[in-house]
């Protein structure tokens, strides 16, 4: 996913994790799939998550950005927002994702912005808008995550 230190987290979130001995910026990742696909998180808070992904390497046989790649970017961004909303005591698990693909993209970088639609105690729903380098909407997605209690560390 690139350098983790480039992710901008709100200071109060960094402090919350630091109080538990966790260096959030060092720990943070888009996961193995996100890394393979070149997903980079640029900004992350419960109110807004911004990330990018290259089109190259993430295309379908016709040379267009694969719809599944857009779904990976959307689920990554929405899950990060849900995790930050839930806080240190919760784990965000995606339970519903839908994507509407508006236009094809053949090259460049796409940018996704996730913003909350609903942030409750047990679920969080985010709308994710993915645009091309000209700012044209490529995909609109909605992700709902279940917020489960995190298991206490053993020992």
| Length of the chain (residues) | 155
Question: Do 47 and 8 contact (CB within 8 A), yes or no?
Answer: no
Question: Do 33 and 53 contact (CB within 8 A), yes or no?
Answer: no
Q: Is 58 helix (H, G, I), strand (E, B) or coil?
A: coil
CA angle 104, 105, 110 (to 5 degrees): 125
Which of 75, 127, 133, 134 is the catalytic position? 75
Distance CA 26, CA 65 (A): 30
Distance CA 73, CA 112 (A): 7
Q: Is 54 helix (H, G, I), strand (E, B) or coil?
A: strand
Q: Tokens 């779904």, residue?
A: 71
Whether 12 is catalytic is no
Residues belonging to the active site: 75
């Amino acid at each position: 996913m690139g350098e983790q230190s480039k992710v901008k987290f709100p200071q109060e979130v960094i402090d919350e994790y630091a109080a538990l001995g966790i260096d959030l910026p060092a720990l943070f990742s888009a996961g193995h799939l996100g890394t393979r696909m070149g997903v980079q998180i640029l900004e992350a808070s419960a109110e807004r998550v911004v990330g990018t992904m290259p089109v190259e390497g993430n295309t379908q046989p016709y040379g267009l950005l694969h719809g599944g790649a857009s779904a990976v970017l959307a689920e990554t961004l929405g899950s990060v927002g849900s995790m930050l909303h839930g806080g240190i005591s919760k784990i965000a698990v995606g339970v519903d994702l839908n994507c509407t693909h508006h236009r094809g993209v053949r090259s460049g970088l796409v940018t996704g912005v996730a913003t909350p639609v609903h942030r409750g105690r047990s679920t969080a729903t985010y709308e994710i808008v993915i645009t091309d380098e000209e700012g044209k909407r490529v995909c609109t997605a909605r992700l709902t995550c279940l917020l489960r209690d995190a298991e206490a560390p053993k020992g």
